Amino acid sequence: MNSQQKELFRLACLRVFAANDTRFGLGLEAVCHLACRFGFPLPDLAETEDAVHYLAHKKLIEEVPKPISPENRVWRVTGAGIAFLDERT
């Protein structure tokens, strides 16, 4: 992906997290699957992981702590992530 495609993909991932209005979060596979709705057919798992880590570093999403099976990591949108999307639309 070039830099513009990465930006669009990160934005698509953030929109996927924002659409999930539960407290449970989404895993990488779910984000890959749901990003298709935004024009990214079957994104690569490594690229999705990079985007998720980038969004978490920017505090637009946060990891949800899991007492059982913490190796199955999930994330959810933060207030800052919702505000960011609100500013863009």
| Domain assignments of the chain as residue spans, ordered by start | 3-88
Q: What is the C-alpha R_g of the chain?
A: 12
What's the confidence (pLDDT) of residue 21? 79
User: What SS3 class is residue 65?
Assistant: coil
Q: Cβ(52)–Cβ(60) under 8 Å?
A: no
For residue 64, give the 3-state DSSP assignment.
coil
pLDDT of residue 89: 80
Residue 76's pLDDT band (cuts 50, 70, 90): very high
Integer Cα distance of 88 and 43 in angstroms: 23
Over the stretch 3-56, which tens digit does the pLDDT of each residue have? 999 999 999 999 999 999 788 999 999 999 999 898 888 888 999 999 999 999
Structure-block tokens of residue 12: 């698509």
Cα separation, 77 vs 70, whole angstroms: 18
pLDDT of residue 19: 95
Question: Rounded to two decimals, what is the model's pTM?
Answer: 0.93
pLDDT for the residue 1: 83
Question: Is CATH 3.40.50.300 correct for 3-88?
Answer: no
Q: Kindly tell me if the per-residue pLDDT of 86 is higher than 90.
A: yes
Structure tokens at 89: 């639309």
